[in-house]
Chains A and B, each alone.
Chain A
Amino acid sequence: MTPLLTVSDLRTYFYTGAGIARSVDGVSFSVEPRETLGVVGESGCGKSVTALSILRLIQRPGRIEPGGRIEFEGKDLLQLPEPEIRRVRGNRIAMIFQEPMTALNPVFTVGEQIAEVVRVHAGASRKAAWERAVEMLTLMGIPAPAERARQYPHQLSGGMRQRVMIAMALVMNPALVIADEPTTALDVTIQAQILELLGDLQQRLGTSILLITHDLGVIAETAQRVIVMYAGEVVEQATVGELFAHPHHPYTEGLMQAMPRVGQERERLAVIPGTVPPPTAWPTGCRFRDRCPYAWERCEREHPPLYQIAGGDGRSHVSRCHLADEPERRAQAHAPLAARSNPAS
Chain B
Amino acid sequence: MTAPPAAPLLAVRDLTKYFPIKRGLLGRTAGAVKAVDGVSFELSPGETLGVVGESGCGKTTMGRAILRLIEPTSGEVRFEGTDIRALDAEGMRRLRRQMQIVFQDPFSSLNPRMTIGAIVREGLTIHRLAEGAAADARVRQLLDEVGLRPEYASRFPHEFSGGQRQRVGIARALSVEPRFIVCDEPVSALDVSVQAQVINLLQDLQRDRKLTYLFIAHDLSVVEHIADRVAVMYLGKIVELAAAADLYREPLMPYTQALLSAVPVPDPTLRKQRIVLTGDVPSPANPPPGCVFHPRCHHPAKDAACTRIIPPLELKGLSHWAACIKQPPTTVGWDAQQSAGATKQPERYLPVMQAVKG
Contact = CB atoms under 8 A, between A and B. Distances in A.
A244 B262 CA distance: 20
Contacts of B191: 42-43, 214, 276
B262 A189 contact: yes
Interface residue SS majority, chain B: helix
Interface stretch (A27-35, A99-107, A153-161, A294-302): A153-161
Interface string B210-231: 0000000010111011000000
A241 B269 CA distance: 7
B225 A188 contact: no
Contacts of B249: 263
A216 B195 CA distance: 14
Contacts of A189: 54, 258-259, 262, 276-277
Contacts of A266: 225
Contacts of A270: 196
Interface stretch (B120-128, B142-150, B302-310, B314-322): B142-150
Contact of B146 (A143, A159, A187, A344): A344
B265 interface: yes
Given A220-B265, A260-B222, A262-B263, A344 B54 contact: no
A342 B200 CA distance: 14
Nearest to B189: A43
| Residue of A214, A245, A270, A271 contacting most chain B CB atoms (<10 Å) | A271
Contact of A190 (B163, B220, B280): B280
B333 interface: no
Given A275-B194, A343-B147, A259 B266 contact: yes
A196 to B, nearest CB: 6
A60 to B, nearest CB: 24
B193 A254 contact: yes
Contact of A187 (B55, B167, B222, B261): B55
Given A192-B276, A343-B147, A344-B148, A262 B248 contact: yes
B201 interface: yes
Given A188-B54, A193-B276, A261 B197 contact: no
B111 to A, nearest CB: 23
A269 B196 contact: yes
Nearest to A157: B280
Interface in B176-215: 191-197, 199-201, 203
B147 A344 contact: yes
Contact of A217 (B144, B147, B266): B266
B268 interface: yes
Contact of B264 (A218, A245, A255, A258): A218
Given A189-B277, A269-B199, A256 B222 contact: no
Given A159-B280, A188-B262, A220 B196 contact: no
Contacts of B277: 189, 192-193
Contact of A345 (B54, B144, B197): B197
Contacts of B196: 258-260, 269-272
B186 to A, nearest CB: 14
A217 B280 CA distance: 23
B221 A216 contact: no
A220 B147 contact: no
A214 B197 contact: no
Interface in A218-269: 218-221, 240-241, 244-245, 254-256, 258-263, 265-266, 268-269
A188 B218 contact: yes
A255 B196 CA distance: 10
B267 A220 contact: yes
**How big is the B interface, by class?**
35 or more
A192 B273 CA distance: 12
Interface in A301-342: 342
Interface string A269-294: 11111011000000000000000000
A260 B224 contact: yes
B201 A344 contact: yes
B192 A191 contact: no
B342 interface: no
Nearest to A239: B268
Contact of A215 (B200, B264, B267, B274): B264
B145 to A, nearest CB: 9
| Residue of A160, A255, A259, A265 contacting most chain B CB atoms (<10 Å) | A259
B287 to A, nearest CB: 16
Contact of A240 (B54, B245, B268): B268
Given A220-B268, A343-B144, A262 B260 contact: yes
A28 B148 CA distance: 38
B74 interface: no
Given A216-B266, A258-B195, A271 B200 contact: yes
Contacts of A192: 261-262, 264, 274, 276-277
Contacts of B258: 189
| Residue of B197, B201, B248, B277 contacting most chain A CB atoms (<10 Å) | B197
Contacts of B245: 265
A261 B192 contact: no
Nearest to B160: A275
B82 interface: no
Given A272-B196, A343-B144, A344-B197, A188 B161 contact: no
Contacts of B192: 42, 214, 216, 255, 258-259
A187 B218 contact: yes
A188 B263 contact: yes
Contacts of A188: 54, 218, 220, 259, 262-263
A261 B147 contact: no
B140 to A, nearest CB: 13
| Residue of B167, B196, B260 contacting most chain A CB atoms (<10 Å) | B196
Interface in B55-94: 55
Interface of A: 42-43, 143, 157-160, 187-193, 195-196, 214-221, 240-241, 244-245, 254-256, 258-263, 265-266, 268-273, 275-276, 342-345
Given A158-B55, A343-B144, 5 more contacts: A188-B263, A258-B196, A262-B224, A262-B263, A271-B196
The 4 closest A-B pairs by CB, nearest first: A344-B147, A217-B264, A272-B193, A187-B54
